[in-house]
Amino acid sequence: MNRAFTIAFLALLLAGQASAQPLKQYSLVSLMDGVADFITDSNTTITLPFWGFANTSANPTIVLPGPTIYAKEGDSIHVEMINPSLEGHTIHFHGLDVDQANDGVPHTSDFVLTNQSFTYRFKATHAGNFLYHCHVTTTLHLALGMYGMVIVYPADSSNRIYTNGPIYDRQHAYLLSDLDSRWNADYTAIGGFTSYAPDLFLINGKNRSMNYTDTNVQINGTIGEQHLLRFMNVGYRVNRIIFPSALNAVVHTSDGRVLNQAFATDTLIIYPGERYSVLAEILDETPTFVSADYLDPYRLQFLGRDYIPVNDSSFTYFPPSMEDDMTDTIGVGMSMAIAASEVRVYPNPADHEIWVATQGENIEHIQVLDVSGRIVRSMRCQHPAERLEVAGLNEGIYILNVAMESGRLVSSRCVIGR
Ligand SMILES: [Cu+2]
């Protein structure tokens, strides 16, 4: 074989391989000089510095969140990270099956130091929702804005949540995060991570009216339309999503994997790092909204709320009522101290059964969720007091969501175990 022929033959072979295993290539720049506007509780605009990522270009523009990375199941993904900034950074791909060298955890997979670059290589093995973030002094670099989404579609490019899964008409991705304005204003002045007290609650890096007219955020559709809502929590607080009765919300995937059994719910609890795909069918075109709450991770105390408008292009922010503050957070042991006027849950701790009783109003629905937000018991009711069988559940802390006939939702915690 002559030399030219050998080279041509090898080139053909390589081309064949490339088409067999499609490659998605991205190039990101890590930067520490971002500036963005946010809306405060007093309804004024505040401009804050942030750190993050930009698409590589002659004049890279840092964005919050970082550019979304898209791929199809089976694709190889190469993400080059160029770091012209003053500190070392990495990219950790949260939920994706990467090997050690591409894991982006600095002490096990190395830093990308100033003026260096590195190309992360991995395969998208499952359709679903994933995250990426810098993993250097994570509580600082991530909190200041170094994160983004990875969305993997089925291999056949269909409008399905996953291969052979349910079909959607439209899709929306919601990256939920939180930000402590004092940290972003001056990161050199902050104390330890225990001082982190977020006061800005973000959807796709923005809050309140900055989002309400964004057609990527708004859910607009006609009766019967199926909207895929991808919820991802990259913040340090717990999210509680409350769906209006105009949407029939069914959860299909969790953390990039298909659930054994999809379930319908009006409330979804999302802990940091978790991602869910929810298929929401529009049942009613009357303007309404989805509530996105931000809760303290230790006591699930209510911290703040933002909204996703549903068929409402003129939606305006309104502050949550005291009621929203009060009905969610009941610590272990002091169980119904706050919500005692509404429902009682006893015994608590419980071992084989729990009773839920109101002061007379009929209960419509009770759900028991484990700490990861998964529904482990669900029952329809029609009395002011209902008994729930909990034998067989592992010992631990559970959240009870009690929907009243009036439509009000009351939540409580309950300990199962002796
Ligand atoms: Cu970093």
Q: Which of 155, 172, 195 is the last residue of a domain?
A: 155
C-alpha 235 to ligand 1 mean position (Å)? 15
Per the structure, the count of domains in the chain is 2
Flag whether 260 is in a domain.
no
C-alpha 346 to ligand 1 mean position (Å)? 47
Structure-token match 């670059």, residue found: 117
Domain that holds residue 41: 21-155
C-alpha 135 to ligand 1 mean position (Å)? 6
Scored b (16 or more CB within 10 A) or e, 61-97 reads ebbbbbbebebebbbebebbbbbebebbbbbbbbbbe
- The CATH number that applies at residue 346 is 2.60.40.1930
Flag whether 227 is in a domain.
no
C-alpha 331 to ligand 1 mean position (Å)? 35
Q: Which pLDDT score is estimated for 10?
A: 54
Distance between start and end Cα atoms, the chain:
79
DSSP element (H, E) containing 8 = helix 3-20
C-alpha 327 to ligand 1 mean position (Å)? 37
Flag whether 109 is in a domain.
yes
Q: Which of 155, 177, 209 is the last residue of a domain?
A: 155
Flag whether 206 is in a domain.
no
Q: Which pLDDT score is estimated for 326?
A: 45
C-alpha 136 to ligand 1 mean position (Å)? 5
C-alpha 79 to ligand 1 mean position (Å)? 16
What DSSP state is assigned to residue 68? P
C-alpha 70 to ligand 1 mean position (Å)? 22
C-alpha 99 to ligand 1 mean position (Å)? 20
Cα distance between residue 253 and residue 241, in whole Å: 15
C-alpha 89 to ligand 1 mean position (Å)? 4
Cα distance between residue 197 and residue 194, in whole Å: 8
Flag whether 101 is in a domain.
yes
Cα distance between residue 196 and residue 147, in whole Å: 17
- The CATH number that applies at residue 116 is 2.60.40.420
C-alpha 21 to ligand 1 mean position (Å)? 31
Flag whether 164 is in a domain.
no
C-alpha 78 to ligand 1 mean position (Å)? 19
SS3 category, 155: coil
Flag whether 160 is in a domain.
no
pTM of the predicted structure, to 2 decimals: 0.76
Tell me how far the alpha carbon of residue 244 is from its chain's centroid.
18
Backbone angles phi, psi at 108, to 5 degrees: -115, -20
Flag whether 125 is in a domain.
yes
The alpha carbons of the chain give a radius of gyration, in whole angstroms, of 23
C-alpha 61 to ligand 1 mean position (Å)? 17
Secondary structure (H, E, C), 297-323 = CCCCCEEEEEEEEECCCCCCCCCCCHH
Hey, what are 127's tokens?
Answer: 């359709």
Q: Which of 155, 173, 206 is the last residue of a domain?
A: 155
C-alpha 54 to ligand 1 mean position (Å)? 13
Block mean pLDDT (10 aa), the chain, length 418? 56 50 94 97 96 96 97 96 96 93 87 96 96 93 97 93 96 97 91 89 98 96 98 96 94 93 92 96 96 89 94 94 50 34 78 86 86 80 87 84 81 78
